[in-house]
Chain A
Amino acid sequence: MTENYDLFEHDVLVIGAGGAGLRAVISASQAGLNVGLVCKSLLGKAHTVMAEGGVAGALGNLDKKDCWEVHFKDTMKGGQFINNWRIVEIFAKEAPERVLELEQWGAVFDRTPDGLILQRPFGGHTYRRLSHVGDRTGLEIIRTLQDKAVSCGIKTYMEVTFTRLLKDGDRVVGAIGYYRPSGKFIAIKAKAVVLATGGWGRMFKVTSNSWESTGDGVMMAYEAGAELLDMEMVQFHPTGMVWPPGVRGLLVTEGVRGDGGILRNSKGERFMFKPEYMPEMYRGQYAETEEEAHRWLEDKDNNRRPPELLPRDVVARSIYKEVLAGRGSEHGGVYLDITHRGADFIRRKLPSMYDQFYALGGVDITKQPMEVYPTIHYTMGGIRTEPESCATTVPGLYAAGEVAAGLHGANRLGGNSLSDILVFGRRAGDGAAEFAKAASHGSLDERQIEEEMSLMLAPFTCEGKENPYRLTQELQEAMQEGAMIARNEEGLSKCLQTILSLQERAKNLHVDGAREYNPGWHTARDIRYMLKTSEVIVRCALERKESRGAQWRTDYPDRDPEWGKKNLIAGKEGDQVKVSTRPMSEMPPELAKLFEEGK
């Protein structure tokens, strides 16, 4: 059987149409190249719309003392120093410019009395730094970038899912996938490919991620030979919805805490004040009494931030411990209370949170506290890239946004992901454009294309009886149990065994129906990536025998300074996942000095 496929050609192909992909498209097309954009859903529906709280950049509109150096320090500390310092430096320096550029393209942020962009405080950020629009900042950013990209005259392939990168020798020269509506195949030839496919939260049961976050991008890169970095680092957002069951895991923005939200356990204690939850690194920088935290709401210069605004990993762990100790709420979470800010304030600053709880949970957050519990939210690990150009270790392949790694280290600060996609989306687009200008098209290997198409079509004719949805559920349960917030050798090993046996069973997947818009078929394809990504996550988590940021090993509860000097690298070797370490380059003195000054 020979399958037909459509063939298109672009100078630069961008896979993924969230913020990073769109930003990459804009800069590649501004470089004068012919650009194609592939998005898995409709344009403008990518995960970026889910971002709520704001985009971090040291504009200093409210706190004049803010500058890139402080943002740099905050980000390194939040990531517990396994971030790539050069990436963080570029990031902190360029973020403000990228935010302001959005405004030129039509984004309308909330304003200060001076008519500048309003910034809100967030966890781990020393100053008010998050430019925002109520609690729908992500929507504002994706719509702005979408309109800008469309006006650049790019070609968009909507509802097209790519499944494999095509190589010519060492170099990536295109990719193949399929049109969801028709089920037919499509291949695109490109001089350079940018991966901006986002994260992979879908292999966990309680997650704030949508069906798209299956790790297909990171696994395509892995299959193509790219190196992956610190894959064990998966962020648990401290506050996800708990009740009702249908919305379990849905995100509750950190903006709630940024705007004064208080965490309490079932005994009514504001537990974040407990000294045992305060990490050594942050001691003395946060309010120590409830009175001070309360004064901070009105006077941010003379009071310290409330401990609810510690980095996400710290808050998530504290909530986990409270619930474990039997001090949880009715449905197994803790209470997040914002009612003291008044109904007007809440409806103005947190309108979509108000709506979300009112419509989906039957809770009026202006009158009642919310119930929250940690939820899988973000993946700090991913494809290793060069700081300047976002080039991966595979020639012709670039990566930006959540799929790339290095910026966030062991824990991402809220608001840094939106500036990440802007700063490195642009750099990836430029990097790919530069490569494409100097290169000619490679040739597509028909054998690779044939191979991929028959692999994709196999579940239709497979004699086996495995159901892709069941397999997904089993994987989610295994990951939830073995690789969640508290990890240990035994749980992780058991989880790995389950994943490996599921990988075997996945060979017997069977799907019914036609190829046109068949979700069962699509799930059968997703599970392939989810299983492999899970395997890499668990293998790396087993390897890192320490606790750092999002990785909390109950059998190795302390931070190990040795592990602070290297990154975990995962790569493909034959059919095996090879996990190794790579020493980090030393921070240059002028940056290292920043941490000594106590500035």
Chain B
Amino acid sequence: MALNTAQSKEAGRVPLPINSRKDTWWIKPLLVFLGLSTFGIYATWRAFENRYYSWGPYLSPFYSPFLVIHIGHFAISPALLILPFPLIFRMTCYYYRGAYYRAFFWDPPACAVEEPAARKQYTGESRFPFTIQNLHRFAFYIAVIFIAILAADAIIAFDFNGHFGMGLGTLIMVVNVLLLSFYTFSCHSFRHLIGGALNCYSCSRSGKTRFRIWQRISLANERHMLFAWLSLFTVGFTDLYIRLVSAGIIHDVRFF
């Protein structure tokens, strides 16, 4: 089809006022910036602290699995070895990507808002290093292993020196692992692998099963952002709670 509208040339775009959005578009990126920064700073500090990570049957998710590696006389904090994995999962997560491209890279800070310094060349995720984002599914596989480990930790948290019991810490750890599961299994990559990749669901019996799972995952996926934030909060809070109890600043509330 040839187009003939007399005006097909890509004429120079008309210079318009830089940004005529007058609403409070900056609140959302600011909140994301503050939220992620706070967590980042807290997690880094906690990773280097290398103490107050367990109390009774509780083990901080930052320090699980608890593997200590020595280099000479120096013991590396397990958190430094562990945290990169969930970090990679979240860094390559489709939700967080959009969020930090907006809040940190200002690419764009909000919809229809000028980027303060629109770079000469934009390549998005089509060039290295950002092509790495395409490996999100592998980060997902690892994240599933971590869910298993944290679930085991949460079960152990019922074991008070051989007695079945439950404290506030147990509850927090259980909620944490639940929310982490919701976040992990509502992942876009998982949604694709489980059923999104198919073009015909009704063509085979396995297709129909995969469709049903895909449908559920899709429902959860709509709330992926919510789970991302809730689980980020609970994982930090779980660590904070255990740290405070472990440091003796507060006392664990024991239900039974």
Contacts and interface: CB of A to CB of B under 8 A. Distances in A.
B1 A153 contact: yes
A184 interface: yes
Contacts of B2: 155-156
B75 interface: no
Interface string B5-41: 1110000000000000000000000000000000000
B7 A156 contact: no
Contact of B1 (A156, A159, A184): A156
Contact of B4 (A115, A150, A153, A155): A155
A182 interface: yes
Interface string A132-154: 00000000000000000110011
A560 B225 CA distance: 69
Interface string A164-188: 0000000000000001011010000
A277 interface: no
A182 B6 contact: yes
Contacts of B5: 157-160, 179, 181
Nearest to B202: A115
Contacts of A153: 1
B145 interface: no
Nearest to B4: A157
Nearest to B5: A158
A157 B2 CA distance: 8
Interface in B187-205: 202
B6 A156 contact: no
Contacts of A158: 3-5
For the complex, would chain B's binding face be called helix, strand, loop or mixed by DSSP majority? loop
B4 A156 contact: yes
B222 to A, nearest CB: 16
A182 B1 contact: no
Contacts of B6: 179, 181-182, 184
B7 to A, nearest CB: 5
B202 A150 contact: no
A181 B1 contact: no
A160 B2 CA distance: 14
Interface in B202-244: 202
Contact of B7 (A149, A155, A157, A181): A181
Interface centre among A155, A158, A184 (most CB of B within 10 A): A158
B78 to A, nearest CB: 50
Nearest to B7: A181
Nearest to B1: A150
Contacts of A115: 202
A130 to B, nearest CB: 24
A158 B7 CA distance: 11
Interface string A181-209: 11010000000000000000000000000
Contacts, number: 28
Nearest to B6: A182
A295 B7 CA distance: 58
Contacts of A181: 5-7
B4 A182 contact: no
A181 B4 CA distance: 11
Nearest to A183: B6
A179 B5 CA distance: 7
Contacts of B3: 156, 158
Contacts of A155: 1-2, 4
Interface string B77-109: 000000000000000000000000000000000
A310 B4 CA distance: 46
A154 B1 contact: yes
A150 B2 CA distance: 9
B9 to A, nearest CB: 11
B202 A182 contact: no
Contacts of B202: 115
A43 to B, nearest CB: 8
Interface in B97-151: none
B161 to A, nearest CB: 53
A154 B6 CA distance: 17
A182 B7 CA distance: 7
Nearest to B2: A155
A494 to B, nearest CB: 43
A24 B229 CA distance: 55
A181 B1 CA distance: 19
B219 to A, nearest CB: 15
Nearest to A111: B202
Contacts of B4: 155-158, 160
B86 to A, nearest CB: 38
Interface centre among B3, B6, B7 (most CB of A within 10 A): B6
A181 B3 CA distance: 13
A229 B231 CA distance: 70
A153 B3 CA distance: 11
A157 B3 CA distance: 6
A155 B3 CA distance: 7
B204 to A, nearest CB: 14
A153 B2 CA distance: 8
A157 B5 CA distance: 6
A159 to B, nearest CB: 6
Nearest to A150: B1
A27 to B, nearest CB: 17
A159 B5 CA distance: 7
B152 to A, nearest CB: 41
A160 B7 CA distance: 12
A111 to B, nearest CB: 10
A46 to B, nearest CB: 16
Nearest to A155: B2
A154 B4 CA distance: 12
A181 B5 CA distance: 7
9 contacts: A149-B1, A154-B1, A156-B4, A158-B4, A158-B5, A179-B5, A181-B7, A182-B6, A182-B7
Given A154-B1, A155-B1, A179-B6, 12 more contacts: A115-B202, A149-B1, A156-B1, A156-B2, A158-B3, A158-B4, A158-B5, A160-B4, A160-B5, A181-B6, A181-B7, A184-B6
Interface of B: 1-7, 202
Interface of A: 115, 149-150, 153-160, 179, 181-182, 184
Which 3 A-B pairs rank lowest in CB-CB distance, beginning with the nearest?
A: A182-B6, A181-B7, A150-B1
